[in-house]
Structure 1
Amino acid sequence: MMEKSGVSTNNLVVEVNYGKGKKLPQYIAALSVCMGSVAAGTVLGWTGNITEGELQAGELNDVFINKDTDYGWIGSFMTLGAMLMCFPIGFICDLIGRKLAMLLTIIPFSVGWLLIIFANNTDMIFAGRFITGLAGGSFCVSAPLYTSEIAQKEIRGALGSYFQLLLTVGILFAYLLGAFIDAQIVSVICAIVPLVFGVVFFLQPETPVYSLKKGNEEAARKSLRRLRGDNYNIDAEIADIKASLEEQKSQKISFRESFKKKATKKSLLICFSLMFFQQFGGINAVIFYVGTIFTETGADIEPSIATIIVGVMQVVFTFIASLVIDKFGRKILLIISDFVMGISGILLGIYFTLKDRELITEDELKDITFLPILSLCIFIAVFSLGFGPIPWMISAELLPPEIKSNASSAAGTFNWLLAFLVTKFYRDLTVAIETDTTFYIFSVISLLGTVFIYFVVPETKGKSLEQIQRELNGEREVGEGLDNKGFSS
C-alpha cells in the first residue's frame, strides 16, 4: 500500500508517494521511550499498597509517619514536583534534544529514590517524593512529544497511547511489589527501573523533527531510515518536515495575536477542560489511596489483592485503547469513558452512603461488598480506555503550532496542580463531607464532562494538523466524513 502526503500551499495540493515504510521500528522506539513512563508509574503507584498502617508502624527505615499531617503530603509532594517540571522540560527538550533530556531524568529519579531508601526522617521522604515527581512529570511532556515526532500519521494515535499504557504498567508493578515486600525493598527495586530505561532507550534515535530544527539534515535522514526502513521515500518526508518548520517560522506570531484566532481559543478551552475533567473525576484519589479505599469498604477481599486487581484492569484496558484508538477515534472513547466513570462513582458513593450512614444492617452490607470492588474496577477500566491517554494526546493535536510548546506545558502544569489538590485534600474532604459525598462530587463532574465532550470536542482521528485547525476555526470541508457532532462516519 502506497502512502501519500498532501502538502498544501495556497490551495495547491501536491500528492507525494512515501513508499512502503516499516512500522515495527516506530513501535519499538515508542515502547523504549515509554520505559521512562514505567519509572514514572512506580512513583505514582508507590503509595498504593504501602498503607498508612505500614508507614505509621515505621516499616520504611524506622521513620514513623503521622497519619493526620504526613500521609497526604507523601502522596501529593510527587504531584508538586511533576507540576513544576512541565514548563522547564519543554525548553530543555528544545535546547538539548528530546532524547538527551529524557536520559538526564535518570539523575533526579535516582537521587529521589535514594533519599527515600535512606530516609531517617519524614523530610527526606518528602524530598524524595518531590524529586522523583520532577523526573516523572517530565515524561508527561517529553514522551508524547518524542512519539508524535517519530510516528507516521496512521499509527500516531496508537503510539501516543503508549505513554499512558506503560505508566499503568509502572503503577501495577509498584502495586505488586507493595503487596508482598516491605516499603524499603520496594523503593530499591523502583530505583532500578529508571536505569533499565536508560539502557533500553539509549540506542534509539533522536527525532527527525528536532534534528532538522537544528539544521542537521544528515541526522534526520539517519533517524528516518532507522524508523521507516530502506523502502521508504525519506526525501519526501524530509521535504514535508522542512516545509512545516518553514511555515511555522513564517507564521510565528505572538500569543496575543494567536489568541485572536477562534482555533486558539477553542483549542485552549478544550485542552484545559479535558485536564480538569480528567483529574476532578477522581482518578488520582483512586490511584494513590486505592488500598485505603478498599480498607474503608470493609470488603472481605484483602486490600492489597484488590489493589492489584485494579492495577491489572488499568493495564489491560489501556492496552485495548492503544489498539482501538485509531479505529474508533478519540471522541467516542472520551464520551464512553467519562460517562461510565460518572456512573461508577455514583455506585461507589451509594455503597459508602449505606455503610457510613448505617442505612442497612451489617449482614445486608456483606451481601453487597462486591459493589465497591466492581465499581472501582469499572472506573479504572473506562478511565484507561479513554480519559487516561486521550487528553494528553489530543492536546498535541489541537493546539496551533505557534503556541503548542508553551500551551502544552501550561496544560500539563494545570493537570498536575489539579492532581495535587485531589491527592492532598481527598482525605480532608472525606472527613469533612464523608466519603460518599466526595465520590458524588467526582461523579457529577464526570457527567458534566461527558456533555462538554459531546458538544465541544471535535474528532481528530486521521486528520492532518492543518485540517484540525481549519475545523476549529469553523471552516467545514465537504467530504470530511463527519456528522454535525464531529463523529467519524
Structure 2
Amino acid sequence: MSFRDDSSGEEGRSELRKPLLHTGSWYRMGMGSRQSSLMEKLSSSASVIRDSSISVVLCTVIVALGPIQLGFTSGYSSPTQDDVIRDLSLSLSEFSIFGSLSNVGAMVGAIASGQIAEYIGRKGSLMIASIPNILGWLSISFAKDSSFLFMGRLLEGFGVGVMSYTVPVYIAEIAPQNMRGGLGAVNQLSVTIGIMLVYILGMFVKWRMLAVIGILPCAVLIPALFFIPESPRWLAKMGMMDDFEASLQVLRGFDADITVEVNEIKRSVATATSRRTAIRFQDLRQRKYKVPLMISIGLLVLQQASGINGILFYAASIFKAAGLSSSNIVTCGLGAVQVVSTGTNAWLLDKAGRRIFLIISTSGMSASLILVSVTFFLKDSAPEGSHLHSVLSVLALIGVVAFVSSFSIGLGAIPWVIMSEILPVNIKGLAGSVATLANWLTAWIVTMTATLLLNWSTGGTFAIYALVAIFALVFVIIWVPETKGRTLEEIQWSFR
C-alpha cells in the first residue's frame, strides 16, 4: 500500500473509477484497460450498496457487534454470580474482584485505544480488540479456579476498552451528517442489547456455556470487517488519498458526487499535524483542543458518576430492599427498558438534536433519582406490610425504571456521539484515549463503591446520584454545543 499526498492523488482523477476490496483495504481501479474480472464479480453486489444509507447502515451494523460484546461482558456477572461462586468455591469478595476486573482491563484498553486506532486504523483496531475478547471468554469457560477466571475477565476488559473508543469514532467518521446522530446512538443501543441478551440467556444457560456464547460477537466481527471500508478520514490523515476517495465513494454510493465532501476533508487534514509529529499533552492546552476535550471528558465522567452501573449491577438487591420479589425478572425488564429507550433515541436523535435530548435525559434522571431517594427515606419509617410500605415499594420501582429510561434516551448514548464529533482528527487518538480512560475509571469507582454506599443508606446513595445528575444538567446547558446537521469539519472549526 503506497502513501500519497494531495498532488499525487490528482493524477488520473478524471478517469471513471470504482472501489475494489483487497486484503481488507479499498483501492481504486480505472475502467478500460485496468478493469479486472474481480470488478465484474463485484458488480452484482454494487447495487446492494449503491445507496449511501444502505452502505453506511451495513457498516454500522457490522461494527455494532463490538458494543454488543461490551454489553455481554458488562452483564455477565449478574446472572452467573451464584453458580460461579458455588462451582469454583469462591468467596463473595473474590467474585466481586472478578466483576470489577473488566473495568480494570478496560482502563488499560482505553489508554492504548487511541494509539492503536491511529496507527493501524479503525478496522485494524477492532480486529486487535476482538482477539483478547475471544481468549478471555475461553479462559472463563474452561476455568478451574479463580486465576483463569480473573485472567479471562482482564482480557475481556482490555478488548472492550479498545472497542468503546473505536466503534463510535468509526461510525462518526463514515456517517453522512444527516445520519450521524442516529447511527452514533447505535453504539449504546448495541451495548443495551448485549446486556439484555446475557440477562435473558443467563436464566436458562449455565455460566460456562454462557461464556462460550460470549465468543460469538467477536467471532463474527473479525471476518465481517474484511468486507467494509476503512474510515475515509483516517485514510486521508495517513496520506492514502486514492484509498480515501475510494472508501468515501463506496460509503456515499457509486453514483454520488463526493467532490464537496472530499475537499472539506482534505482542508481539515491539511491543517492537522502530520503523521510523524507526535501530539503532546501540552498541545491540549490550546483552546481549539482544550474545550472539546473538556466537554468530552465531562460528559463521559458524568455519564458514569450518575450511578448507572451501580444501580444496574445491584438492581436485584435494590429491589429486594424495596420489598419486591422476582428480582431476576425485574432486572430483565430493566434491560428491555434500556433497549427500547435507546432505540427511540437512535430514531429521533438526528431530528431533534443532541442538546435537547441531553437536557430531557438529565432532567428526567434528576427527578427520578430524587423520587427514589425520598421513597427509601420514607420507607424506613413506614411499618412493614402496611399499605404505605407497598405504595412506596411501587414508587421505588417506578423511579428506578424512570431513571434507566431517562439515562438511555440521552446520557447513555450521546456522550460517545459528541466525543467522536467534536475532537479534531489530529488529537482524536490521544484525547479520545484520555476521555475513554476517564469514563472507565469513573465506572470502576462507582461499581466498587456502590455496595458500600447502599449498605450505608439506600436513600442517601440515590441522593448523591441525584446531585450528580443535576450537575450534569447544568453542565449540558452551559457547555455542550449542538452538533446536529453540521459536518465534522464545521464542528471542529467552531472551537478555533
Q: TM-score, with normalisation over the residues of structure 2?
A: 0.84
Structure 2 residue corresponding to 1:286, chosen from 298, 304, 311: 311
Structure 2 residue corresponding to 1:458, chosen from 468, 481, 492: 481
Is 2:113–2:429's contact at 8 Å kept on the other side of the alignment? Answer: no
Distance of 1:169 and 1:378 partners within structure 2:
18
Q: Does 1:24 align with 2:54?
A: yes
Is 1:75–1:423's contact at 8 Å kept on the other side of the alignment? Answer: no
Determine what percentage of the aligned residue pairs are the same residue: 33
Structure 1 residue corresponding to 2:74, chosen from 33, 44, 62: 44
Q: Where do 1:79-98 residues align within 5 Å?
A: 79-98=103-122
User: How far 1:334 sits from its partner (Å)?
Assistant: 0.9
Aligned to 1:12: none
Q: Where do 1:366-405 residues align within 5 Å?
A: 366-405=390-429
Relative to structure 1, the CA distance from residue 346 to residue 467 in structure 2 (aligned partners, 3 Å threshold; closer, same or farther) is same
Distance of 2:96 and 2:451 partners within structure 1:
7
Aligned to 1:265: 290
Relative to structure 1, the CA distance from residue 371 to residue 142 in structure 2 (aligned partners, 3 Å threshold; closer, same or farther) is same
Distance of 2:74 and 2:143 partners within structure 1:
19
User: How far 1:109 sits from its partner (Å)?
Assistant: 0.8
Q: Where do 1:229-378 residues align within 5 Å?
A: 229-249=253-273, 255=280, 258-300=283-325, 302-355=326-379, 357-364=380-387, 365-378=389-402
Q: Secondary structure at the match of 2:106?
A: helix
**For structure 2, which runs of at least 5 residues remain unmatched after alignment?**
1-49
Structure 2 residue corresponding to 1:194, chosen from 203, 209, 218: 218
User: How far 1:45 sits from its partner (Å)?
Assistant: 1.0
Is 1:72–1:427's contact at 8 Å kept on the other side of the alignment? Answer: no
Q: Secondary structure at the match of 1:369?
A: helix
Relative to structure 1, the CA distance from residue 389 to residue 372 in structure 2 (aligned partners, 3 Å threshold; closer, same or farther) is same
Relative to structure 1, the CA distance from residue 143 to residue 333 in structure 2 (aligned partners, 3 Å threshold; closer, same or farther) is same
Q: Where do 1:54-93 residues align within 5 Å?
A: 54-56=83-85, 58=86, 62-67=87-92, 69-93=93-117
Q: Secondary structure at the match of 1:65?
A: coil
Is 1:253–1:402's contact at 8 Å kept on the other side of the alignment? Answer: no
Distance of 1:402 and 1:108 partners within structure 2:
28
User: How far 1:108 sits from its partner (Å)?
Assistant: 0.5
Q: Deviations over 1:7-63 (max 9, x none)?
A: xxxxxxxxxxxxx96211101101111111111110011123234x4443x1xxx11
Distance of 1:119 and 1:349 partners within structure 2:
40
Distance of 2:382 and 2:147 partners within structure 1:
42
> What amino acid is the match of 1:373?
L
Q: Secondary structure at the match of 1:205?
A: coil
Relative to structure 1, the CA distance from residue 400 to residue 191 in structure 2 (aligned partners, 3 Å threshold; closer, same or farther) is closer
Aligned to 2:207: 183
Distance of 1:254 and 1:222 partners within structure 2:
28
Relative to structure 1, the CA distance from residue 442 to residue 21 in structure 2 (aligned partners, 3 Å threshold; closer, same or farther) is same
Aligned residues: 445
User: How far 1:84 sits from its partner (Å)?
Assistant: 1.0
Relative to structure 1, the CA distance from residue 226 to residue 372 in structure 2 (aligned partners, 3 Å threshold; closer, same or farther) is same
> What amino acid is the match of 1:63?
L
Aligned to 2:13: none
Is 1:267–1:398's contact at 8 Å kept on the other side of the alignment? Answer: yes
Relative to structure 1, the CA distance from residue 349 to residue 454 in structure 2 (aligned partners, 3 Å threshold; closer, same or farther) is same
Structure 2 residue corresponding to 1:100, chosen from 124, 141, 155: 124
Q: Secondary structure at the match of 1:107?
A: helix
Distance of 1:317 and 1:275 partners within structure 2:
19
Distance of 1:282 and 1:185 partners within structure 2:
30
Q: Deviations over 1:277-312 (max 9, x none)?
A: 111100111232223333333213x11111111111
Aligned to 2:467: 444
Q: TM-score, with normalisation over the residues of structure 1?
A: 0.85
Is 1:205–1:223's contact at 8 Å kept on the other side of the alignment? Answer: yes
**For structure 1, which runs of at least 5 residues remain unmatched after alignment?**
1-19, 474-489
Q: Secondary structure at the match of 2:117?
A: helix
Distance of 1:266 and 1:370 partners within structure 2:
43
Q: Secondary structure at the match of 1:244?
A: helix
Is 1:25–1:226's contact at 8 Å kept on the other side of the alignment? Answer: yes
> What amino acid is the match of 1:245?
V
> What amino acid is the match of 1:444?
L
User: How far 1:125 sits from its partner (Å)?
Assistant: 1.7
